[in-house]
Amino acid sequence: MNEPILKIEHLTHVYSQGTPFELTAVRDVDLEIHKGEILALIGHTGSGKSTLIQHLNALIKPTSGRVLLGGQDIFESKKSVKAARAAVGLVFQYPEYQLFEETVYKDIAFGPKNMKLPSNEIDDRVRLAARFVGLEEDVLERAPFDLSGGQKRRAAIAGVIAMLPEVLVLDEPMAGLDPAGRESIMENILTYHDETNAAIVIVTHSMDEAARYAHRMVVLDHGRVAMTGTPEEVFSHGEELRAMGLATPVMTDLALRLRALGVAVPGNVYTVERMADALMALERGRDRA
Ligand SMILES: Nc1ncnc2c1ncn2[C@@H]1O[C@H](COP(=O)(O)OP(=O)(O)OP(=O)(O)O)[C@@H](O)[C@H]1O
Ligand SMILES: [Mg+2]
């Protein structure tokens, strides 16, 4: 495989070190992120997902270990920190709480402005990013607090997309939205991926979403990488995922139940399409017998 854009080496993060509240949130994590890949980061509440990804654009510093962007340690200098902030766009968990400007326009423009782009380019990017996430022009002059929950979420995502990051990192971008809202935000993210070949890192609680979109999955458990692989590889360990308190895709659950009933469904069934294929194959086998 080609050189990774981002490389995490032996990253450990300890909160409140040296106090009675000391807590190791991320332990010795190694991870590579490649151009064009869609990586789903999953794990139980408190497993360290948000802590880990906040290192990717130099928002927080590792207690030990390194993050390399294009081979360079992102904390090497002020310049490398700046480069990381420009190359890696981070959309926070519940980003709507971070909208703080008077207008949606100014909020989306905040990142590109910090990048010191010329004002006509900032304007182009704001309008492009707004269109991209499906916000109408007239919304741009409104106050962020005046928007609906879904629109706020879109505005926050637009603010990061306006920086045209090579790596787009999203922390539970669909959390709290209705199914239509989830679907449409996911489509925006996939379009950004397809048009720019950016790497996408998406933290999600939804195994079904990870099963549908991810090329690769990383499972965190108590701050450690417990599993990594394609969805097929990861979901073939259904019992282990459950032991970590994680749900499995609906079709994985059904496959487990069918196996318990003596139906020989293979271990790599985790989508409706695969279940249909597996059952049809069994049916054909029975007809021949
Ligand atoms: N700023 C902080 N100070 C101290 N402890 C923190 C801080 N942020 C998170 N933690 C703790 O670190 C651990 C990992 O938290 P983190 O938010 O990274 O988990 P997470 O996997 O994102 O969880 P969730 O799925 O609930 O978002 C938890 O025990 C959490 O309580
Ligand atoms: Mg989190």
What DSSP letter does each residue of 215-266 carry, written as one string? Answer: SEEEEEETTEEEEEE-HHHHHTTHHHHHHTT----HHHHHHHHHHHTT----
CA of 65 to the centre of ligand 1 (A): 19
Mean pLDDT within 69-81: 96
Cα–ligand 1 centroid distance for 224 (angstroms) = 13
Judgement on whether residues 56 and 122 belong to the same structural domain of the protein: yes
**How far apart are the CA of 220 and the centre of ligand 1, in A?**
12
- Which CATH number do you get for residue 103? 3.40.50.300
Residue 205 CA: which ligand 1 atom is closest?
Answer: 25
Whether residue 119 sits in one domain with residue 17:
yes
* pLDDT above 60 for 1: no
Pocket test for ligand 1, best of 14, 47, 53, 97 (most atoms within 8 A of CB): 47
Residue 116 lies in a domain: yes
99 shares its domain with 221: yes
Same domain, 180 and 281: no
- Position 121 pLDDT exceeds 90: yes
Same domain, 242 and 266: no
Q: What is the CB < 6 Å shell around ligand 1? A: 15-16, 23, 25, 43, 45-51, 93
Residue 93 CA: which ligand 1 atom is closest? 27
Residue 95 CB: number of other CB atoms within 10 A? 21
Ligand 1: which residue has its CA nearest to atom 29?
Answer: 46
Residue 123 has pLDDT above 90, yes or no: yes
Q: What range defines the domain where residue 13 resides?
A: 6-248
Residue 183 and residue 275 share a domain: no
Q: Output the residue whose Cα is nearest ligand 1's atom 8.
A: 51
Q: Which atom of ligand 1 is the closest one to the Cα of 220?
A: 21
- pTM of this prediction? 0.90
Q: Using CA atoms in the order 258, 259, 261, 263, what is the torsion angle rounded to 10 degrees?
A: 80
Examine the domain organization and report whether 276 and 139 are in the same domain. no
Nearest one of 70, 13, 8, 12 to 39, comparing CA atoms: 8
Indicate which residue's Cα is closest to atom 7 of ligand 1. Answer: 15
Residue range 39-56: average pLDDT? 96
Is 1 part of a structural domain of the chain?
no
- Chain centroid to CA 253: 24
Averaged pLDDT, 42-50: 94
The strands making up 88-91's β-sheet, listed across from edge to edge, are 88-91, 167-171, 199-203, 38-43, 216-221, 224-229
- Cα-based distances in Å from 151 to 85, 97, 99, 104, 187: 24, 12, 11, 10, 15
224 in the same domain as 86: yes
Q: Are residues 237 and 255 in the same domain?
A: no
Closest residue CA from atom 16 of ligand 1: 48
Number of domains, the chain: 2
d(CA 255, CA 268) in angstroms, rounded, equals 9
Q: Which of 19, 22, 51, 207 is the best mutation target for the ligand 1 pocket, counting ligand atoms within 8 Å of the beta carbon and taking the most?
A: 51
User: How many CA within 13 A on the CB side of residue 125?
Assistant: 25
SS3 state at 176: coil
CA distance 145 to 134: 18
Task: Give the model's pLDDT for residue 237.
Answer: 85
> By alpha-carbon position, which residue is closest to atom 12 of ligand 1?
25
pLDDT tens-digit map of 207-217: 888 888 999 99
For residue 27, what pLDDT band results from cuts at 50, 70 and 90?
very high
Q: Are strands 167-171 and 199-203 parallel, antiparallel or unpaired?
A: parallel
- Answer yes or no: do 30 and 68 share one domain: yes
For the chain, strand residue ranges (E) read 6-15, 23-33, 38-43, 64-69, 72-73, 88-91, 167-171, 199-203, 216-221, 224-229
